[in-house]
C-alpha cells in the first residue's frame, strides 16, 4: 500500500478503537479552517457520533459474530426514539416538528451509543481475557 493509504488505514483503525479521539481531531481541523468555535463543535460532535456508532457496531460484531447485525439495533433505536419523541412533542406542544425530533434523537444516540460502546468494549476485554 502507499504511504497515504497506510496513514488512512492507521487513522481509521485508531478511530474505530478510540472513537472519542475523533472529537479533538475534527474540532481542531475545522476551527483552524473556519475560525468558528460553534461550527467546529457541532461538526465534531456529529462526526464523533458517527464514529461511536461505527465502533459499537464493530465491537458487537467481534463479540457475537453469529448474532443479528447491530445495524438492526441502530435502526430500531432511531425508529423507536423518533416515534416516542414525536409522540411526546405532539402531547406537549400540539404539533410535530420532525427537524427537532430528528435532532433530539441524534443527540440522544450519542449518549446511548457512547454507553453501549463502553459496555461492549469492557465486555470484549473480559471475554478476551477469559479465553487466554
**How many angstroms separate the Cα of 64 from the Cα of each of 8, 28, 68, 112, 125?**
27, 36, 9, 20, 13
What's the domain count of the chain? 1
- Residue 70 domain boundaries: 3-131
Q: Maximum CA pair distance of the chain?
A: 57
Query: pTM score > 0.85 for this model?
Result: yes
What is the separation of C-alpha 120 from the centre of its chain, rounded to a whole number of angstroms? 13
Q: What distance in Å separates the CA atoms of residue 49 and residue 45, rounded to the nearest whole number?
A: 6
**Three cell numbers, residue 39:** 461550527
**Residue-level pLDDT at 132:** 60
**Residue-level pLDDT at 54:** 93
**Three cell numbers, residue 82:** 423518533
The string of DSSP codes covering 52-79 is HHHHHHHHHHHH-TTSPPHHHHHHHHHH
Question: Do the beta carbons of residue 77 and residue 64 sit within 8 Å?
Answer: no
Question: Do the beta carbons of residue 44 and residue 21 sit within 8 Å?
Answer: no
For the chain, list residues with pLDDT below 50.
none
Amino acid at each position: 500500500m502507499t504511504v497515504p493509504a497506510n496513514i488512512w488505514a492507521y487513522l481509521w483503525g485508531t478511530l474505530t478503537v478510540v472513537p472519542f479521539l475523533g472529537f479533538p481531531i475534527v474540532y481542531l481541523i475545522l476551527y483552524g479552517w473556519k475560525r468558528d468555535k460553534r461550527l467546529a463543535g457541532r461538526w465534531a460532535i456529529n462526526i464523533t457520533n458517527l464514529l461511536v456508532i461505527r465502533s459499537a457496531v464493530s465491537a458487537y460484531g467481534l463479540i457475537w459474530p453469529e448474532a443479528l447485525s447491530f445495524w438492526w439495533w441502530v435502526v430500531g433505536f432511531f425508529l423507536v426514539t423518533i416515534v416516542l419523541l414525536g409522540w411526546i412533542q405532539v402531547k406537549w406542544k400540539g404539533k410535530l416538528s420532525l427537524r427537532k425530533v430528528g435532532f433530539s434523537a441524534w443527540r440522544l444516540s450519542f449518549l446511548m451509543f457512547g454507553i453501549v460502546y463502553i459496555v461492549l468494549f469492557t465486555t470484549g476485554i473480559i471475554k478476551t481475557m477469559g479465553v487466554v
